[in-house]
């Protein structure tokens, strides 16, 4: 028996979704025969938002289903893109005739399968649009990606596009605000310890006892650098500096911050990291409008963190602050 809280490794996604619905039966329903969670009150008379991807990144994406954020989340197998069929069923379940907007993290399989699902839905007369999130500044191409990877910045797309959709915006308006978030959000991550995939015999990668990896992806894809372990301040300085220089973020910009745990990082360490994020941004006169510290997009029990910055204007601030029933991003 693998040293994890699982039963048959083949059943982890299905059993997880059963546990989610059991915990909050008034919030979720699961589609029959598909690993898709939808709002219990779907379809709602507005543009619907659908996201998804491989499992193992919880609370991404099921944890963001609810009023003011997503209408459905499609759960693939662990670290595996969901099938076009599953995405298509999600689209049909939440469409109210106002169109469906898909938030896709930039992984080759996700982009391909979500676009195939769009074709299937369009053939049914359902209007769709999508955005591809590619916020990871670390590497240009990677194991599963052409172009930059989509990581924790995706949560800001869920929140802000979800808020605009809840206000009754059109599919085109939702697409435009999502693109605006993508244009203004950047992330970089790192890992100290790898995760253990339920069905695999080994970790997806390994690190020596005094080694860490900067720029790593949320499936353990290669990053930019393997080095000996540095202090929290040095690590955060590396991540934040690369994020700032990429957009670039400048003095007097207002930003929202996510200090995101990869799953096996104590909350204590995320707050130690946030102290340094705050100090670096302060020294550069970049104003912090709002900070989120916690586990937003994980990689099973990988130990490590990512730092996300989103450059804000009045429109984005208002939507970021808009009410949502989703605890994690209130």
Whichever of 137 and 277 has its CB closer to a second copy, that residue is 277
Among 304, 297, 315, 323, residue whose Cα is nearest residue 103: 297
Report the C-alpha gap between 313 and 203 in whole angstroms: 41
Least distance to a second copy from the beta carbon of 269, Å? 4
Residues 6+ apart with CB under 8 A from 322: 68, 163, 166, 167
Largest CA distance in the chain: 56
For a second copy, which residue of 146, 172, 231, 250 counts as binding (CB under 8 A)? 231
Q: Which two tokens stand for residue 147?
A: 């172009």
Q: How far is CA 183 from the centre of its chain?
A: 16
Is residue 19 a contact point for a second copy (CB under 8 A)? yes
- Does residue 15 belong to the site contacting a second copy (CB under 8 A)? yes
Nearest Cα neighbor of 316 from 171, 181, 168 is 181
- Contacts to a second copy from residues 272-301, by CB under 8 A: 272-278, 288, 291-293, 295, 298, 300-301
**Is 270 near a second copy (CB under 8 A)?**
yes
**Closest approach of Cβ 287 to a second copy, in Å?**
12
8 backbone dihedrals φ, ψ, rounded to 5°:
-70, 125
Give me 50's structure tokens.
């659908």
For the bound state, the minimum distance from the C-beta of residue 177 to a second copy, rounded and expressed in Å, comes to: 25
Nearest to 133 by CA among 220, 214, 53: 53
Choose between 109 and 294: whose C-beta lies nearer to a second copy.
Answer: 294
Min CB(26)–a second copy separation in Å: 10
Give the active site residue among 57, 61, 130, 158.
Answer: 57
Give me the least distance between CB of 114 and a second copy, in Å please: 22
In this structure, the number of other CB atoms found within 10 A of the CB of residue 23 comes to 9
Q: Please name the helix (run of DSSP H) or strand (run of DSSP E) that holds residue 239, with its range, or none.
A: helix 232-246
75 and 35 in contact (C-beta within 8 Å)?
yes
Interface mask (CB under 8 A) for a second copy, residues 167-206, using x and -? -------------------------xx-x-----------
What mask of x and - would describe binding to a second copy in positions 69 to 108, judged by CB under 8 A?
A: ----------------------------------------
Q: Is 322 in the site for a second copy (CB under 8 A)?
A: no
CA angle (130, 263, 3) in 5-degree steps: 120
Q: Which of 182/195 has CB closer to a second copy?
A: 195
Among 144, 221, 263, 309, binds a second copy (CB under 8 A): 263
> Which residues within the stretch 47-66 sit at the binding site for a second copy (CB under 8 A)?
55-56, 58-59, 63
**Gap between the Cα atoms of 117 and 120, Å rounded:** 5
Q: Is 57 a catalytic residue?
A: yes
| Residue with Cβ nearer a second copy (19 or 125) | 19
Q: In 10 A of CB 191, how many CB atoms? A: 28
DSSP letters spanning 124-141: TT--EEEEEE--B-S-SS
Give the residues lining the site for a second copy (CB under 8 A). Answer: 1-7, 12, 15-20, 22-24, 55-56, 58-59, 63, 192-193, 195, 209-210, 212, 228-233, 235, 259, 263-278, 288, 291-293, 295, 298, 300-301, 303-305, 327-328, 330
Which residues are marked as active site? 57, 219
């Amino acid at each position: 028996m693998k040293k994890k809280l699982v039963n048959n490794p083949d059943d982890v996604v299905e059993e997880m979704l059963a546990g989610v619905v059991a915990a909050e039966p008034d919030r979720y329903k699961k589609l029959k025969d598909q690993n898709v969670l939808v709002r219990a009150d779907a379809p709602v008379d507005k543009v619907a938002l659908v996201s998804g991807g491989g499992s193992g990144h919880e609370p991404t994406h099921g944890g963001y289903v609810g009023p003011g954020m997503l209408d459905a989340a499609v759960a693939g197998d662990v670290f595996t893109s969901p099938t076009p069929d599953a995405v298509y069923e999600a689209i049909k379940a939440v469409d109210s005739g106002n169109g469906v907007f898909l938030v896709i993290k930039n992984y080759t399989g996700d982009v391909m399968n979500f676009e195939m699902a769009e074709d299937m839905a369009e053939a049914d007369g359902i209007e769709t649009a999508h955005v591809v999130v590619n916020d990871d500044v670390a590497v240009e191409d990677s194991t599963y990606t052409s172009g930059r990877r989509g990581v924790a910045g995706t949560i800001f797309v869920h929140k802000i596009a979800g808020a605009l959709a809840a206000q009754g915006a059109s599919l085109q308006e939702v697409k435009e605000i999502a693109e605006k978030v993508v244009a203004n959000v950047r992330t970089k991550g790192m890992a100290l310890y790898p995760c253990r995939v339920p069905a695999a015999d080994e970790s997806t990668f390994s690190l020596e006892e005094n080694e860490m990896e900067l720029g790593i992806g949320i499936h353990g894809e290669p990053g930019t650098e393997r080095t000996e372990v540095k202090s929290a301040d040095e690590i955060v300085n590396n991540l934040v500096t690369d994020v700032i220089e990429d957009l670039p973020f400048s003095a007097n910009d207002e930003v929202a911050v996510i200090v995101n745990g990869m799953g096996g990082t104590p909350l204590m360490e995320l707050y130690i990291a946030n102290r340094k994020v705050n100090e670096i941004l302060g020294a550069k006169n970049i104003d912090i409008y709002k900070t989120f510290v916690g586990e937003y997009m994980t990689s099973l029990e990988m130990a490590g963190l990512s730092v996300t910055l989103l450059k804000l204007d009045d429109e984005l601030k208002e939507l970021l602050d808009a009410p949502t029933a989703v605890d994690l991003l209130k």
